[in-house]
Amino acid sequence: MLPKVSFIIPIYNGEKRLPSCLDSIKKQNYPKNLIEVLIADGGSTDKTIKVAKKYGAIIINNKFKVEEKGRPLAIKKSRGEILCFIDDDNILPNKNWLRNMVLPFKEKDIVATETLYYSFNSEDDKITKYNALIGGDDPIASYLGINDRLCYFNNKWTGQPYKKLERKNYTKILLTKEKFPAMGSNGFLIRKSILQKVKHNPFIHPLLIYELIKNKYNKFAKVNEGILHKQDGSFKTFYRKKIRRIERRYSGEINWGNNYGISSSKLVLTTLYCGTFILPLFDAIKGFIRKPSLVWLFHPIATASLIFIYIFYDIKNRIIQ
């Protein structure tokens, strides 16, 4: 018997992105009475609400505006046995996506599921493709081993340790709280009954995974599925998002509470490696062999430039302190 699934989508001024997202949910080969969509709106001033209502979504007023506080509001209103966390820039790539993602829950001890990789189409913009190829939106994270999806230049979805049991369409993984992978967003499904037993407000995905593992809910599934994470194709936006993330962390607006167990020596070695330009260029060639695309040309540029941006903000923060 299929479970009822609640899609939870935090949003702010997403009228242009939301239709594609909701269309992909509507097209799922899944009983419509077993799907609900909850939109946690942070005060949109465009036609986001109108679009959401057109698709029959439940609107939740997120007075806090930020997504980390919006998700818990939607969780309280949800009626599904399984909660699916996506953003308005996510698109489910095929009509059987939801069936495939809930399949591992037949194993009673599996707490949550997540896609193995990011999908992209030939007509997608260069940044959407690049992020999919490196398994996230930051190449430095991929070198540190904290990407959350399959990275094609090293053929790993994480560099963190885990135990695994191979199944037909997914991999069952067992995690430890000392070092755990980046998980919990862009197509992350979890049993609501388990989520309610751990701290999840604010909903910050690394902290949620830590709380789950700490409370011995440490069995997950990486499903052989993808999900699209659409970008606007702008290099300016690509860098601006990274800078915004740094500023939020240094300001204390977001407290991650952990660094995934990454040692200082690994940070130094990664910095030196990525700053060479030449070594990431070789990695781009490896990635091209596994997954051919001309956007690999951006990889050594992105890697070297981000390293210098991160060094600049680290020095700036130390001076201010």
Note the residue count of the chain.
321
| pLDDT over 90 (residue 153) | yes
Q: Residue 261 — very low, low, confident or very high, per pLDDT cuts 50/70/90?
A: confident
Angle at 131 between CA 285 and CA 102, to 5 degrees: 120
The per-residue pLDDT for 256 is: 64
Work out whether strand 5-11 and strand 82-85 pair parallel, antiparallel, or are unpaired: parallel
User: CB within 8 A of 298, min separation 6: which ones?
Assistant: 126, 130
Element (H, E) at 165: strand 163-166
Position 82 scores a pLDDT of 99
pLDDT tens-digit series, residues 27-62: 999 999 999 999 999 999 999 999 999 999 999 999
- Encoding tokens for residue 179? 């070092």
Residue 209 predicted with pLDDT over 80: yes
For domain 1-88, the CATH superfamily is Spore Coat Polysaccharide Biosynthesis Protein SpsA; Chain A (3.90.550.10)
Q: Give the 3-state secondary structure of residue 38.
A: strand
Using the predicted structure, report yes or no on whether residue 254 has a pLDDT greater than 80.
Answer: no
Cα–Cα distance for residue pair 37/30, rounded to 1 Å: 14
Supply the DSSP symbol for 156.
B
Per-residue pLDDT band for 318 (boundaries 50, 70, 90) equals confident
Q: 257: pLDDT confidence band, cut at 50, 70 and 90?
A: low
Closest among 1, 23, 184, 24 to 102, alpha carbons compared: 1
Greatest extent of the chain over all pairs of C-alpha atoms, in Å: 59
Residue 312: enclosing H or E segment and its boundaries? helix 299-320
Q: What is the pLDDT of residues 264-316, one digit of tens each?
A: 999 999 999 999 999 999 999 999 999 999 999 999 999 999 999 999 998 98
List of residues 6+ apart from 208 with CB closer than 8 A? 184, 195, 198, 199, 200
Residue with tokens 């700036």: 316
Interstrand relation of 90-91 and 219-229 (parallel, antiparallel or unpaired): antiparallel
- Local confidence band at 134 (pLDDT 50, 70, 90 cut-offs): very high
Tell me how far CA of residue 203 lies from CA of 6, 72, 158, 208, 240, in angstroms. 16, 7, 22, 7, 23
Q: Give the C-alpha separation, 8 to 30, whole Å.
A: 17
Q: What tens digit of pLDDT does each residue of 85-96 get?
A: 999 999 999 999
- Per-residue tokens: 193: 């009954």
Asked if residues 233 and 126 have their Cβ atoms less than 8 Å apart, the reply is yes
Which pLDDT band, with edges at 50, 70 and 90, does 319 fall under?
confident
% of residues, the chain, pLDDT over 70: 98
Domain residue ranges of the chain, discontinuous segments joined by +: 1-88, 97-183+200-320
